Structure 1
Amino acid sequence: MFIPPSAWFTGFVPDLPTPFDAADAIDLRAFAALCERQIRAGVPALVVCETAGEAPTLSLAEQELLIRAAVDVARGRVRIIAGAMSNATSQAIELARRAEAAGADAVMAVVPAYNRPMQDGMLAHFRAIAGAIGLPVILHDIPSRTLRPLADETLLRLVESRRVVGLRDGSGDITRPMRLARHLPANFRLLSGDDSTTFGFLADGGDGAISEVANVAPDLCRAILSQVRQGRLQSARYLDKRLMPLIGCLAEESPAALKYALSTLGLMSPATRLPIVPLGDAARAEVIRAFAAISDEELIDGIGA
């Protein structure tokens, strides 16, 4: 049965890292365990082959392997959102088509990096991807990495296509949900892509977050969302502030810090793929201190054990 994305593209959705073994190959067993942990935590969807997944370092075959693995683990219990990350439109289309063939439920397409396309170029890029597949398309705006933002006017032109169903907003602009709400279709979803400003984004009407910190603390993130939706903003702000030291660590050295954090919980190796390298001693100590700051919340499996 078809379930529209508006029913599941909401809440905290983890941007999953890609585990590697000592031979620099994908560790499918660890990846499956990460997927299952999140599913048991009640997430609505999983994002694979995107920012935290070190997508630019993955071959086409590796990306397809990861998507199929996530689909196999999920067995329909959650939706799989596959990254189609490339600054070449033809390559992004190829990734999107492979994701569809592998069983993904939606694709996430980012504003092209390095090329610095004009707004009309972004419009044509996303329309070409949406027109090449039968899946819903989620846009990803992250100006800190792409240098050029996706303008509100361009977004509103893109949502004329019912294929474009949501935005991962990594701009840090917490006013965007309130500013755009009356102009967007009722079933369009706005999710934060910046953990450090997610609380403000949610409080201003955002629908959720595509999150790195949710990989580490899915239950704590779910508690924050629940408090916001109940109008208990003071309680939500308290929990969000407790997470801030960890969020800061993850943002400073993404995704190496995320991988190290998960390794301390026994969930995966901290191994990264060049040009990303593992954390140094000082950064590792910062992650441990960040864990200590939230250990008494008892909402992260493995901390304090």
Structure 2
Amino acid sequence: MAHVADPATWLAGYIPDMPTPFDRHGDIDLAAFTRICERQIAAGVTAIIVGETAGETSTLTPSEREALVRTAVRVARGRARVIAGAGSNATDRAITFTQAAEAAGADAAISVVPYYNNPMPAGMVAHFRAIARSTGLPIILHDIPSRSVRSLPDDSVAELASSESFVGLRDSTGAIGRVSRLRSRLPSSFSLLSGDDTTLLAYLAAGGHGCVSTLSNVAPDLCIAIHACFKQGRLQAARDLHQRLTPMAALLEREHPAALKFALSLLGFIDPATRLPIAPLDAPAKTELARVIADLADEYLASADDAWPARPVRDRACSAPRADRL
């Protein structure tokens, strides 16, 4: 599996959880999906996640999942890794999704703790091991107790991480102290990724490697700049940029992914359409999000008209922002 050697080199920084654009008829808009994938890759992300939480995974058919992965792989052309959402609360279904993602060209799969079933830790470990045995893809675990009810225990994470099949954890628990608890128990190559944009800097400071991000979909260059500043030891610059984006991150999280889709529609990239049971934002939420977007747009954000198709989409902020922007 040379094409995914050493995931620690690419499973870090900001990794966008991509939304799935729908047209007004409810079908996937692959042209819009191509645009937003190219935008992220042109900004310099090391990986993108497709068909997961932001992608409204539970409403996607198997053929739609495959189309998303194949499109992302075609757009990436090796410039970034494609991580396919392949989780389910049924182990056999998760295996089917993972094998389909591998056949479609994905570089890795992300698999969520089984939801609704409320499994014991032993059941969670057996679930993930069965998936790993079915595929050659590296597996990223996703722990999100707000949706799955149960959290993946630290002992289970450490047990799974002892296998080279498991290369990272998307930690959506919001527990910053968990990073320091886990770090010493895990292989150095195992990546710990926050699932929360608002606490990213604290997560990095505690020993984490990056963030599976909603915010990066809206402002990829700014997000990459935050991580670059942190890695360079420019902590004040990282804090200042992160603070600028925190209000937007909070609004995006409040009604996810409808808020993300509306934000991207304001920038001209996709239609804000969602699939039920996700409903569009109400008018007050739209007004609040539009105000926050406007506060950043003139200085930082590129619209689709500015950036497509005349040139690859690139936000105006650079990966090492000028001092007068900080």
- Could you tell me how far apart the structure 1 residues matched to 2:205 and 2:69 are? 32
- Could you tell me how far apart the structure 1 residues matched to 2:164 and 2:98 are? 17
AA at the equivalent of 1:60: P
1:71 is matched with 73
AA at the equivalent of 2:117: N
Q: Cα distance, 1:114 vs. partner?
A: 1.0
- Could you tell me how far apart the structure 1 residues matched to 2:252 and 2:119 are? 28
2:302 is matched with 301
2:213 is matched with 211
- Could you tell me how far apart the structure 2 residues matched to 1:9 and 1:92 are? 22
2:31 is matched with 29
2:57 is matched with 55
- The 5-angstrom pairing of residues 9-24 of structure 1 reads 9-24=11-26
Do the aligned residues in 2 keep the contact of 1:203 with 1:233 (CA within 8 Å)? no
1:274 is matched with 276
- Could you tell me how far apart the structure 1 residues matched to 2:300 and 2:148 are? 34
DSSP-derived class of the 1:20 partner: coil
2:138 is matched with 136
1:165 is matched with 167
1:118 is matched with 120
Per-residue displacement from partner, 1:78-99 (whole Å, max 9, x unpaired)? 1100011211111110000000
Per-residue displacement from partner, 1:205-239 (whole Å, max 9, x unpaired)? 21111100000011111111112112222221221
DSSP-derived class of the 1:269 partner: coil
Compute the TM-score of the two structures, normalised by the length of structure 1: 0.96
Do the aligned residues in 1 keep the contact of 2:19 with 2:55 (CA within 8 Å)? yes
Do the aligned residues in 2 keep the contact of 1:218 with 1:300 (CA within 8 Å)? no
- Could you tell me how far apart the structure 2 residues matched to 1:233 and 1:292 are? 26
Q: Cα distance, 1:147 vs. partner?
A: 1.2
| Superposed structure 1 runs of 4+ greater than 6 Å apart | none
Do the aligned residues in 2 keep the contact of 1:220 with 1:300 (CA within 8 Å)? no
Per-residue displacement from partner, 1:267-300 (whole Å, max 9, x unpaired)? 000000010011111110111121133346x332
2:46 is matched with 44
Per-residue displacement from partner, 1:48-106 (whole Å, max 9, x unpaired)? 00000000000011101110111111111111000112111111100000000000000
- Could you tell me how far apart the structure 2 residues matched to 1:15 and 1:286 are? 23
Do the aligned residues in 1 keep the contact of 2:269 with 2:303 (CA within 8 Å)? no
- Could you tell me how far apart the structure 1 residues matched to 2:296 and 2:267 are? 14
AA at the equivalent of 1:274: L
Aligned length: 303
Do the aligned residues in 1 keep the contact of 2:14 with 2:212 (CA within 8 Å)? yes
- Could you tell me how far apart the structure 1 residues matched to 2:156 and 2:295 are? 41
Q: Cα distance, 1:5 vs. partner?
A: 1.1
Q: Cα distance, 1:191 vs. partner?
A: 0.7
- Could you tell me how far apart the structure 2 residues matched to 1:300 and 1:13 are? 18
2:203 is matched with 201
AA at the equivalent of 1:230: Q
Which of 144, 147, 152 is 1:145 aligned to? 147
2:311 is matched with none
- Could you tell me how far apart the structure 2 residues matched to 1:224 and 1:293 are? 18
AA at the equivalent of 1:59: T
Do the aligned residues in 2 keep the contact of 1:6 with 1:187 (CA within 8 Å)? yes
Identity level (%): 55
Structure 2: runs of 5 or more not aligned: 307-326
Per-residue displacement from partner, 1:112-159 (whole Å, max 9, x unpaired)? 111111111110111111111001000001111111111110000001
DSSP-derived class of the 2:151 partner: coil
Structure 1: runs of 5 or more not aligned: none
AA at the equivalent of 2:130: A
AA at the equivalent of 2:300: L
Per-residue displacement from partner, 1:2-55 (whole Å, max 9, x unpaired)? 332111111101000000011110000000001000010000011000000000
AA at the equivalent of 2:302: D
2:100 is matched with 98
1:82 is matched with 84
CA RMSD of aligned residues (A): 1.3
